[in-house]
Chain A
């Protein structure tokens, strides 16, 4: 059937050029108004909504033939969805891919920011499920847009205050709201709040794509990104009691790995590239050697 051969022909990076232009315009607007959610005519993509279609569209629109792409999910390059998205761009754009943070020009991520500080020649593309930080306080888009326009963020502060009144803490551990350049309250995507400080005055351009919700937003380089808090309850990040069991890193985000059914646990770097690099440089964690095979 003739259609078979036609089906196999796709434009560079899948999207047609008109669509890319439309998305680039949205990105430019987003950069011009840091933290503001720009509506865009999101396309259907060949992976399901909620699986990174927004990030994929942003990446497809900024990707050039000379770029080097890294894709991570939960900090790791080898999680199934990261593998799938990386393979997609290899197939439709024939770009170079890497797992090394420093070598990538574009890093698409879900749920983490790499531990290694990003540079000004890098772009971090976030996959965003629900771009609206006020959504769980007010389900209606018509209302939340109004609240952003009026800079009416009292509801968010009340929510955080109620957390403290009930629990003694702000009980938000990921997707922790931030204020961008003193104006828009923004959802950093469901990254653990541990990563929030990395967004502040980052040298890299940070782009956020929400495909199903049809929104793009951005943090230009060197932009103030402040996590919401109170004077007497300042923002804090998670602390881990032990270092990475494989590379002995501390001050990084760790994944908990269940070792057996008797409560055995180990904690390892969520950022697999960071962990591997440290191990290559001779850092040895207290469990390295015994279980490293299982993790690798």
Chain B
């Protein structure tokens, strides 16, 4: 037993060798190529990029394969690589207004400039298992049409024209955008840093918290003002050049929640915002993020803080799945030094307990125990 706890290098190496064997599994079945993972398990790759906060499909697919499909392990692999990358600078804010849209829906307007575009969605599919997918049957090419060139303004802009929605946040002119990965976390957070934390936060955790707000724990009366998925340009300012240069495009999902707000002493009744932005295609995550962002603005909007989803320290301290999984799983590490200390105490207290009741009577009242202890 003791030998099993004290592993030693040989045992660790053997365990890793066995892991590699299990990962590869049946050698007569061809190994997966990264292209297959990127192409056919793309939403999984997207989640790894989003929560790993590194936009690189190939590395995310590699992490997915290396982690045997364990999402959080893959996210962890990507984060551990990301952290070693030098920081060259910060891009300009992406402009989702100019997004090359693949999907764009609004639940608040029946029709709007730019139109409703369903895109590749699971919505309205019947969730019936499709036996045809067990074979590699030919798949029809999608229907296409000429792209519209007109503008597709964000729903929040449409509401803002009438002054019906609050301004999109004000930060002082000298505010430097925070960087969650380069500065210590301190509470209370500014909204920019909080949104960064939510954007890389665990999808399941944010989903549950967002859901809790819908069920009455900090209800915020949300409407999905707009969800859009597509590609945006990433640009960076190069001081030597004096203009921004394009680094490439990334696919993102953006969700703007529009929430009722009855007004306060300082603000007239108007709609308020909850914002979600996630790498890749992940509506569920973007929507959950927007719900949680809105509920975390409780303090700023002077609302009563009554529910977990409004509690910034609770939400942000526990939203990172790499941190959470590490700490939960560290309970696997040996703790026998501390356990020994507890054993000794419990034995001593039991011995005293026995000495104090020679009749073996176990029905003492608490006050008697207290006296005995004193």
Contact = CB atoms under 8 A, between A and B. Distances in A.
A247 to B, nearest CB: 16
Contact of B349 (A53, A169, A194, A258): A169
Given A49-B323, A79-B6, A214-B185, A14 B84 contact: yes
B330 A51 contact: yes
A78 B185 contact: no
Contacts of A111: 335, 337-338
B313 interface: yes
Interface in B311-329: 313, 317, 322-323, 325-329
A191 B326 CA distance: 20
Contacts of B184: 39-42, 214
B342 interface: yes
Contacts of A50: 326-330, 333
Contacts of A51: 326, 330, 333
A12 to B, nearest CB: 12
A173 interface: yes
Contact of B337 (A40, A142, A253): A253
A15 B83 CA distance: 9
A294 B3 contact: yes
A123 B133 CA distance: 60
A24 to B, nearest CB: 15
Interface stretch (A100-108, A150-158, A160-168, A178-186): A160-168
A76 B337 CA distance: 10
B84 A167 contact: no
Interface string A197-224: 0000000000000001010000000000
Contacts of B373: 165-168
A87 interface: yes
A38 B80 CA distance: 23
A147 interface: no
B58 A48 contact: no
A141 B322 contact: no
Given A48-B330, A73-B333, A294-B3, A212 B323 contact: yes
B340 interface: yes
A29 B109 CA distance: 56
Contact of B2 (A46, A84, A193, A257): A257
A168 B330 CA distance: 32
Given A14-B84, A41-B181, A142 B188 contact: yes
Interface string A36-60: 0001111111101111010000000
B187 to A, nearest CB: 5
A122 interface: no
A212 B327 contact: yes
A83 B344 CA distance: 28
A48 B83 contact: no
B185 A39 contact: yes
A194 B341 contact: yes
Interface stretch (B7-15, B115-123, B156-164, B166-174): B7-15
A160 B328 CA distance: 27
Contacts of B6: 76, 78-80
A45 B80 CA distance: 5
A226 interface: no
B343 to A, nearest CB: 7
A171 interface: yes
A74 B336 contact: yes
Contact of A83 (B1, B8, B323, B336): B8
Contacts of B342: 173-174
B326 A169 contact: no
Nearest to A4: B62
B361 interface: no
Contacts of A40: 184
B5 interface: yes
A17 to B, nearest CB: 10
A20 interface: no
A106 B250 CA distance: 44
A190 interface: yes
A238 to B, nearest CB: 5
Contacts of B317: 141
Contacts of B322: 44, 48-49
B334 interface: yes
Nearest to A195: B337
A50 B329 CA distance: 8
Nearest to B1: A258
B367 to A, nearest CB: 12
Interface string B1-32: 11101111101100000000000000000000
B11 to A, nearest CB: 7
Interface in A1-24: 1, 3, 7, 10-11, 14-16, 18
B12 A83 contact: yes
Interface string A113-145: 000000000000000010000000000111000
B354 interface: no
B330 A129 contact: yes
Contact of B374 (A7, A15, A168, A258): A168
27 contacts: A7-B81, A16-B84, A39-B184, A41-B182, A41-B184, A43-B83, A43-B181, A44-B76, A44-B79, A44-B181, A49-B325, A50-B327, A50-B330, A74-B334, A76-B6, A87-B9, A112-B337, A141-B313, A166-B370, A169-B348, A169-B349, A171-B349, A173-B345, A174-B342, A255-B336, A255-B340, A256-B343
Interface of A: 1, 3, 7, 10-11, 14-16, 18, 39-46, 48-51, 53, 73-76, 78-81, 83-84, 87, 110-112, 129, 140-142, 165-169, 171, 173-175, 190-194, 212, 214, 238, 253-258, 270, 294-295
Question: Closest 10 A-B residue pairs measured CB to CB?
Answer: A49-B326, A50-B330, A48-B326, A39-B184, A173-B341, A80-B7, A50-B327, A168-B373, A44-B83, A46-B80
